[in-house]
Structures are given as C-alpha cells and as structure tokens.
Structure 1
C-alpha cells in the first residue's frame, strides 16, 4: 500500500484551517488553493491522482499506471470535535511486474482512515487528528492487492505559518487474518511541506515512505508537485503534476523517476 500514493495519495478543517479570517468572509482563491495542503479540512475535497511508474520487478520490465480517487469528507460531531473520513480507491493497469505475470487491470485494495480531530489547534498552533485505519481486500486480481484485510491506526499533525503548511501523517497497519501481522506489518510515514503563492499555486514537497517490518525494508520516494487553482463553470479546482524519485526501493517497487498528475475538486461551504 502506498497511501498517497498515496499519498497518497492520498490523499491529506475549516475550523482548523490554514487562514485566520472572519466566519462571514468568503475564502479567496489563495485560501482555497492552500486548503488542499490540510488533510484535516472541513471542506469536502475529492483528489484524483494519476501516477505512472516503470522499472518495476527483478528485471525492471514492469510498468504500472494507478488512478487514486480519494474523497475527503468531514463530519461535525459537536462544537469540540470533527470526524474526517478519507477513502482511497486505487484503479490500476499494470504489465510485467515480474516475469510471467502478464497484464492486470482493475481496482486494488480500498483503504479507509477515520480521523477524530479537535476543532481548536493546540496552544502552539498544531492541528491534530487520530483514529483507526482499515484496508479492505477488494482487489479484483490477486496481483493488485494484499489478498487480506488489514487494520491499524493513523495519526496526523500539521501547522500553518503564513503561506506554508507542514506536518506529517503516520500509519501502522497489519494483516488482519490468521495471526495479526503475520502476512504483513507496515509502517507508513508521510512528511509534507507545502507553499501557496499569491497566485494560488500550491507547491508540495513530500515523501510517502513505507517500512516493511517483516522484511526489514524501506521504500522511500521523494515527490515534488505544483497545482494551480482555477474555476470551471464556477467549480473550484486545482490541477497540476510533478515527479517522484525513488531514493530507496523494495523488491517489486519502481525505481528511478515516476510521473504524476493531480486534479482536486473543491466544495467550499
């Protein structure tokens, strides 16, 4: 799983938003562009991320294209707490990921994160969220998923300093069938640093890294993306792309440089 991939990916609260503004003030384009950097937003956001990887497998012959659909839906529990749901649905097309594997296409394992988050940041300005993580065995082909359900927990912390938003997301998850963690036990961590310009472009530097405890193996990609805000028929969106370079690859991971495109649909209150 690459929760961003994540980034997921991923992938990552108006009451905990990046800007200090009057409740009656309508967010401007820069505010909305910076909102994509807040995984705990109380704005509904639907990121659709497409990633192309090659140099996969023992002979570096494999290729994979993945579309990650990652709706983020906030729920106001009460005046003190919010619940943010983050779903990741991967749609995959891959070829020759190892000798004799052939081609596969379909959906991968769907993951669901639930973040319980206080509506107020800490005294030093940090926004927190934590809760359960579930990975569902939904892959349409054995080569597209783990072939097991998974469970775990996630924690996220971020802060905003003017145009800058930075923090990290961490998830520990295990196989949930048979002996817990017997098939896999993985730790995912995603530090991120985002800068939003006056022209409503958000530039992000992140690393969606995964550590396999059973194999004692890191996967460490470094990603840089840029996404520009604009509106289409009144619908706020951000569109952009970037590059991912694999600093450390586990067996079966891509190597070298990967490409990605990002589309964010924003639904302000």
Structure 2
C-alpha cells in the first residue's frame, strides 16, 4: 500500500487551480478554440502539456471465467528546455482487483487478488524537430513495489525509442521498448526474469471540435514464455474546457487475437479521464 500515499502526493502537487504554466490562454468565448488546440496537443505523445491520466480498465473473457478491474494513475510530466527540447517523465501506478480462474491441464487456480502492482515509468528525451517529426529516446523501467502476490520481485530496465509524424489532421508513429530484469529475487532465475519486448503503434485522426478517433495497440513478446500478445485497439476521445481547464475524456477497447490463454483476458474496456494540469515540478529545473 506504499503507492497510495505516492498517488495522493502526485495528485496534490499537480492538481492546482493555476493553469497559467500550460501556455493555454482560456476564456469563455475561446473555450472551443482552446479545446481544439488541447485535443491536437494531447494527441501528440511528445506533448508540452502536463496531464494527469486516470484509466478505469475492465477485463473479461478469461478462459476459466471471471474478470478483473484496474485503476491506473499515469501522469505525463514534460520538462521543457530553453532550446525547445523536452524531458518527459511518465510514471504509472496501478491498483488491480482480480477475480478469475487460471486453468491448466491439471488444475484450475482461482486468482482472487487485490492490491498495487509494480510501479513502472519511462523517462524520455525529446529533441525539438521540424515539420511535425516526433522523436524521443530514453529508458523504461519497473520497480518491485507491488503487493506480495502482484509483484515481479525485481528491478527491470531497458531502452525505448519513439518515431512518428504529427500534422493538423493526424498523428502516427511507433514506440518500441524492451524490458529486462537486472536485480532482485525474481531476476535470479531465467524462468521468472522479465525479458519482454513491446511496441506500441499509434494512429490518431483529429476530427475537429475536440474529437479524435484512433488506434494504439501494444504488441508484445515474452521471450521466456515464447508468447506473443496481439490486441486490436480502438479509442474515441473528446476534449472540452471545464472551468478554464482542458479535460480529455475517452473510451478505449482491446480485443486480443493472440495471448497467453491461461492468464490473459479476451477483451479490455477502459474509460479514461485526462485533465491538463500545471507541472509545478518543472519550476525546480528553472
């Protein structure tokens, strides 16, 4: 439960009434234009806007029956530099509730668990590019901070890279990374050591009026299990201005056409809420 105070601290630091540092001048008469501008900016993974992303995810269709629910808090914290480059920090804190059966040829195990999972984060350097080109590179890591039954019990780290293109009509690109366990009890044995390659391919159409539609599936391959995961993904979002602050609301769905049949669901549905916030931590680097 150590992640709960951390989540509250992050929320308290970022959710402030002052929105000036987001560089969006909003009045009532300009709310539509502000929502349109924010929708385009938030569609770009190298955004200069800080946001506090909350995802409520329901997963079902386990082979043995049951379902699971996850609450994910994932702030996006850009740190702009004087030359136009950015450092972007994205931690993810999750609380899960599992209630499904994991079947094997010899037995069925009831996965009745709840608690926090391991904190993951990525730290990327995004150089300023011309012509709408998106480039970022950095590292992706996982910390063994989860509850007893929900931790991989190891520190894992690896490289990440992003390349894409943004225009006024759409944003497209890809975001590969690799995660490898380097320390901790879980990394001591090859069968439990994290060794996973993932690639997110993203496409977002900017429809106008604050609306977007797109797809951002994350394909992965677990080298220990020789197991691929391939989802079909679709999302719809609407950005609006509430009380002078842009908020992005979205729904997202995954359908898994390739997965670990014993432990993974058939589908995932997510409701996402993303207020644009002031990154007060950025002032520490001024």
- Whether TM exceeds 0.5 here: the answer is yes
Query: Is 1:147 aligned with 2:153?
Result: yes
Asked whether the equivalents of residues 33 and 229 of structure 1 are also in contact (C-alpha less than 8 Å), the reply is: yes
Q: Distance in 1 between matches of 2:24 and 2:218?
A: 36
- Alpha-carbon RMSD across the aligned residues, in angstroms, is 2.3
Among 91, 106, 124, the alignment partner of 2:95 is 91
Shift of 1:202: 1.4
Among 234, 237, 241, the alignment partner of 1:224 is 234
TM-score normalized by structure 2?
0.77
Asked whether the equivalents of residues 44 and 266 of structure 1 are also in contact (C-alpha less than 8 Å), the reply is: yes
Partner SS, residue 147 of structure 2: coil
Q: Distance in 1 between matches of 2:140 and 2:101?
A: 28
Residue matched to 1:188: 198
Residue matched to 2:50: 44
Residue matched to 1:106: 115
Residue deviations 1:98-134 (CA, integer Å, cap 9, x gap): 233442111111111011111224xx64210001111
Residue matched to 2:124: 115
Query: Is 1:30 aligned with 2:45?
Result: no
Q: Which moved more, 1:70-79 or 1:127-136?
A: 70-79
Shift of 1:72: 0.6
Asked whether the equivalents of residues 42 and 49 of structure 2 are also in contact (C-alpha less than 8 Å), the reply is: no
Alpha carbons of structure 1 residues 164 and 253: separation in structure 2 relative to 1, 3 Å: farther
Q: Distance in 2 between matches of 1:97 and 1:141?
A: 19
Shift of 1:141: 2.9
Residue matched to 2:65: 61
Asked whether the equivalents of residues 57 and 70 of structure 2 are also in contact (C-alpha less than 8 Å), the reply is: yes
Query: Is 1:127 aligned with 2:134?
Result: yes
Unaligned runs of 5+ in 2: 1-22, 27-32, 103-107, 280-286
Residue matched to 2:270: 260
Q: Distance in 1 between matches of 2:66 and 2:237?
A: 28
Shift of 1:242: 2.9
Q: Distance in 2 between matches of 1:97 and 1:152?
A: 32
Paired residues, what number?
Answer: 242
Shift of 1:92: 0.6
Larger radius of gyration: 2
Residue deviations 1:122-154 (CA, integer Å, cap 9, x gap): xx6421000111100111132x23222111111
Residue matched to 1:249: 259
Q: Which moved more, 1:248-257 or 1:196-205?
A: 248-257
- The structure that is helix-richer by fraction is 2
Partner SS, residue 176 of structure 1: strand
Alpha carbons of structure 1 residues 135 and 250: separation in structure 2 relative to 1, 3 Å: same
Shift of 1:230: 1.5
Residue deviations 1:168-212 (CA, integer Å, cap 9, x gap): 111101011276893121001000100111221111212111111
TM-score normalized by structure 1?
0.82
Residue deviations 1:234-268 (CA, integer Å, cap 9, x gap): 22101121321111112444343321111111137
